[in-house]
Amino acid sequence: MKLLSAAVAIGFAGLLAGCDGPSETGMTGYKAYSPLSPETIALMKAKDTDQNAPMLIRAYKKEAEFEVWKQKKDGTYVHLKTYPMCRWSGQLGPKRTEGDRQVPEGFYTIAPGSMNPNSHYYLSFNVGYPNAYDRAHGYVGGNIMVHGICSSAGCFSMTDKQIEEIYAVARDSFAGGQRQIQMQSFPFRMTADNMAKLRLDPNMPFWKEIKRGADYFEVTKQETPVGVCDKHYVFGASPKTGRFDALSPCPGLNTNRDTEAAIAAKEAVDDKAVAELVAKGTKPIKIVYADGGQNPEFTHRVAEVSRPDALAAGAQEIALDETPKAKPALVQVAAARSKASVPSAKAAALQTADATPTGTVVAQTSAAAAPSPFTAAPSAYASTEPKSETDGFFHKFLNLGSGETPEAAPAIVAAAAQAAPVPAPAVEPVKKPAPKHIVARNTHAKPTTALPAAKAPAPAEAAQAATPVSPLVKVAAAPSPEAIPAH
Q: Is the pLDDT of residue 89 over 80?
A: yes
| Contact (CB, 8 A) for 2 and 175 | yes
* Per-residue pLDDT at 206: 98
297-312: average pLDDT: 87
Q: Is the pLDDT of residue 383 over 80?
A: no
Q: Is the pLDDT of residue 421 over 90?
A: no
The phi and psi torsions of 197 (rounded to 5 degrees) equal -65, -35
* Per-residue pLDDT at 29: 67
Task: Classify burial at 245, counting beta carbons within 10 Å of its beta carbon; exposed 0-12, middle 13-18, buried 19 or more.
Answer: middle
Peptide bond before residue 130 is cis, with ω within 30 degrees of 0: yes
HEC secondary structure over 232-288: EEEECEEECCCCCCCCCCCCCEEECHHHHHHHHHHHHHHHHHHHHHHHCCCCCEEEE
61-74: average pLDDT: 98
| Contact (CB, 8 A) for 410 and 394 | yes
HEC secondary structure over 85-118: CCEECCCCCCCCCCCCCCCCCEEEEECHHHEECC
362-367: average pLDDT: 34
Specify the range with the lowest mean pLDDT, choosing from 102-111, 125-134, 310-319, 475-484: 475-484
- Which residue type, as a one-letter code, is found at position 245? D
- Give the length of the chain: 487
Within 13 Å and on the Cβ side, how many CA atoms surround 241?
3
Where does the pLDDT of residue 331 fall: very low under 50, low under 70, confident under 90, or very high at 90 and above?
Answer: confident
Q: Is the pLDDT of residue 7 over 80?
A: no
Where does the pLDDT of residue 254 fall: very low under 50, low under 70, confident under 90, or very high at 90 and above?
Answer: very high
Task: Give the active site residues.
Answer: 147, 155
Tell me which DSSP letter residue 23 carries: P
Mean pLDDT of the chain: 75
Q: Is the pLDDT of residue 176 over 50?
A: yes
Q: Is the pLDDT of residue 436 over 70?
A: no
State percent of the chain over pLDDT 90: 57
* Per-residue pLDDT at 340: 61
309-317: average pLDDT: 90
Q: Is the pLDDT of residue 293 over 60?
A: yes
141-153: average pLDDT: 95
* Per-residue pLDDT at 405: 34
Where does the pLDDT of residue 487 fall: very low under 50, low under 70, confident under 90, or very high at 90 and above?
Answer: low
The rounded distance, in Å, linking the Cα atoms of 246 and 227 is 8
Helix axes 160-175, 2-16, angle to 10 degrees: 110
Specify the range with the lowest mean pLDDT, choosing from 82-96, 298-312, 318-332: 318-332
CA distances in angstroms from 151 to 36, 87, 217, listed in the order given: 24, 6, 30
| Contact (CB, 8 A) for 313 and 290 | yes
**How confident is the model over 18-44, as pLDDT tens digits?**
333 344 444 446 899 999 999 999 999
* 374 or 115, which is more confident: 115
Q: 24-28, 149-153, 394-398, 464-468 — which one is most confidently predicted on average?
A: 149-153
pTM of the model: 0.69
* Per-residue pLDDT at 485: 43
The rounded distance, in Å, linking the Cα atoms of 156 and 145 is 6
**How confident is the model over 99-137, as pLDDT tens digits?**
999 999 999 999 999 999 999 999 999 999 999 999 999
Q: How many helices (H) and strands (E) does the chain have?
A: 14, 17
Helix axes 204-220, 257-279, angle to 10 degrees: 130
Specify the range with the lowest mean pLDDT, choosing from 66-75, 174-183, 224-233, 302-311: 302-311
Q: Is the pLDDT of residue 431 over 60?
A: no
CA distances in angstroms from 9 to 153, 174, 181, listed in the order given: 28, 7, 14
The rounded distance, in Å, linking the Cα atoms of 117 and 16 is 11
Q: Is the pLDDT of residue 432 over 70?
A: no
Tell me which DSSP letter residue 367 carries: G
In terms of Cα–Cα distance, which of 289, 394, 367 is closest to 64?
289
* Per-residue pLDDT at 341: 57
* Per-residue pLDDT at 385: 36
* Per-residue pLDDT at 417: 41
| Contact (CB, 8 A) for 104 and 146 | no
Specify the range with the lowest mean pLDDT, choosing from 69-73, 161-165, 433-437: 433-437
- Which residue type, as a one-letter code, is found at position 133? Y
Q: Is the pLDDT of residue 396 over 80?
A: no
Q: 320-329, 343-352, 389-398 — which one is most confidently predicted on average?
A: 320-329
